[in-house]
Amino acid sequence: MATAARSLAIGLGVPLVGVNHCVAHIEIGRYATGCSDPVVLYASGANTQVIGYLNKRYRIFGETLDIGIGNAIDKFARSKGLPHPGGPAIEELARKGGYVDLPYTVKGMDLAFSGLVSAARECRAPIGDVCYSLQETAFAMCCEVTERALAHTGKEEVLLVGGVGANSRFEEMLSQMCADRGAKLFVPERKYLGDNGAMIAYTGKIMLESGYSVPLEESYVNPSFRSDQVEVTWRHDDPGERIRDKPLDQITRATGAEAEVLLGDLFVEKRRVRKLYRQQELDDRLIAERTRAEARLIASSRKEGVPTPVIQDITGTTIRMERIYGSLLKDSLSPGHLEEAGRTVGKLHTAGIVHGDLTTSNLIMREERCVLIDFGLSLASSEIEARGVDLHVLFQTLESTTDNFSELKEAFTRGYEHTFSGAAEVLGREREIEKRGRYL
């Protein structure tokens, strides 16, 4: 294709424009639906990414840590002798199925499908039940990480792109999630969801109109060209920013991605709420597991010298804890604060605990000391991989929301190395995890 494109450019005497596949999905989606500044869920065969626009780049908030959702579905379908592509066959079988328990893997705004597919392949339940549960679990994971991005950025639009978006149940779940948050879902016509020539042609057109072209002698195919490496020269709008009517210390009520939070003068009451997009048995399990784990690991972390809130009371869905006054790290990013955050995370990893949702929304600066909150996805683990994912989630959040990522990452690393003796090995693993990212 690259040779053909060069030949046509020479033969017709026209400019050559190199288009990134993922960015083309986004731009045809924006054009076809009329949305302006969405959180993008890109769900295709090889890719699962949550993306947002900031400062001339499409930033990746989260993505699959192993295989894309479409490949996961097709892999399961092949194991059961279902026709290719497996999505439509699984969707049809799922209509008659019931729920069976399967692994649910969300790590901050990242997610993973390999364990889910392996468990589904080995499940001995009726095929309709397995198909139903595979869909419900995989799509709920995608909805959750998208909701986390909405909560973090304050954006009010979601754009679904990629071939997996043609599944009607997937669209229904995303629509429910958006409605519950007061956001709006945009889905292009099916002819624009999967790979299509129009998306390349349209994106090439707007790139050319912005003055972009590639000299023939400098053109080549780059299979590792990620969407966040593309300079978006054709957009001149400012990204939507979340509205902060009050400083954190003056807020009395908040709604996060999975809980409603009541803030009193001396306490915070965090109540996990039912997610209507999620299958009820799955939702009940996640609420119970996460509430218990959060309370237990906050207390364990505090015993090991990690700054956390003091737990005051716990029920099946609610944790009451000390209120931490200060500013969220995402509202006060500086090298000094990131270095202090690194020290805190180093202490956490030294204690054998992984946070699981290490974003700048879950660290509070209190009098120049960094306090960790929201342990809902945390676990007791000394595995290098789990620690590496922790850092990857934080670095990805920083890169997607700031212009001085390198300086902030370097500062965090200094603090992390200061309090955790195994820092070098974990930082090396984080670099490996980064390289696993899907390229399109």
Model confidence pLDDT, tens digit, residues 228-260: 899 999 998 866 544 444 666 667 788 888 899
> What pLDDT is attached to residue 436?
75
Cα separations in angstroms, 263 against 153, 170, 319, 375: 21, 34, 12, 17
Cα 83 to Cα 81: distance, rounded to the nearest angstrom: 7
Cα separations in angstroms, 104 against 3, 45, 101, 377: 43, 19, 9, 11
The dihedral of CA 210, 215, 218, 219: what is its sign? Answer: positive
Kindly tell me if the per-residue pLDDT of 303 is higher than 50.
yes
> What pLDDT is attached to residue 243?
46
- Mean pLDDT, the chain, whole residue set: 93
Give yes or no for a contact between 49 and 169, defined as CB atoms under 8 angstroms apart: no
pLDDT band at 158 (very low <50, low <70, confident <90, very high): very high
pLDDT band at 156 (very low <50, low <70, confident <90, very high): very high
> What pLDDT is attached to residue 247?
66
Side chain identity at residue 403, one-letter code: D
Give yes or no for a contact between 47 and 438, defined as CB atoms under 8 angstroms apart: yes
DSSP-derived 3-state class of residue 210: coil
Pairing of strands 253-255, 259-263: antiparallel
Model confidence pLDDT, tens digit, residues 91-147: 999 999 999 999 999 998 899 999 999 999 999 999 999 999 999 999 999 999 999
> What pLDDT is attached to residue 256?
82
> What pLDDT is attached to residue 439?
42
Concatenating the DSSP letter of every residue in 41-70 gives: EEE-SS-EEEEEEETTEEEEEEEBSSS-HH
Model confidence pLDDT, tens digit, residues 186-236: 999 999 999 999 999 999 999 999 999 999 988 888 888 889 899 999 998
Peptide bond into 85 cis (omega under 30): yes
Kindly tell me if the per-residue pLDDT of 435 is higher than 90.
no
> What pLDDT is attached to residue 347?
98
Model confidence pLDDT, tens digit, residues 323-357: 999 999 999 999 999 999 999 999 999 999 999 99
Side chain identity at residue 402, one-letter code: T
> What pLDDT is attached to residue 246?
62
> What pLDDT is attached to residue 223?
83
What are the residues facing 311 on neighbouring strands?
Answer: 321
Find the helix or strand (DSSP H, E) in which 253 lies.
strand 253-255
Catalytic residue among 129, 228, 357, 390: 357
Kindly tell me if the per-residue pLDDT of 438 is higher than 70.
no
Average pLDDT over residues 293-302: 96
Q: What percent of the chain has pLDDT over 70?
A: 96
Kindly tell me if the per-residue pLDDT of 440 is higher than 60.
no
Model confidence pLDDT, tens digit, residues 33-43: 999 999 999 99
Kindly tell me if the per-residue pLDDT of 437 is higher than 80.
no
Kindly tell me if the per-residue pLDDT of 79 is higher than 90.
yes
Concatenating the DSSP letter of every residue in 239-287 gives: PP----SS-GGG--EEE-SSEEEEE-SSEEEEEE---TTS-HHHHHHHH
What are the residues facing 263 on neighbouring strands?
Answer: 268
For residue 357, indicate whether it is catalytic: yes
Model confidence pLDDT, tens digit, residues 26-72: 999 999 999 999 999 999 999 999 999 988 899 999 999 999 999 99
Q: What domains lie within the chain, and their CATH numbers?
A: 17-229 (3.30.420.40), 248-322 (3.30.200.20), 327-435 (1.10.510.10)
> What pLDDT is attached to residue 253?
82
Among 66-70, 148-152, 222-226, 417-421, which is the least confidently predicted range? 222-226
> What pLDDT is attached to residue 78?
97
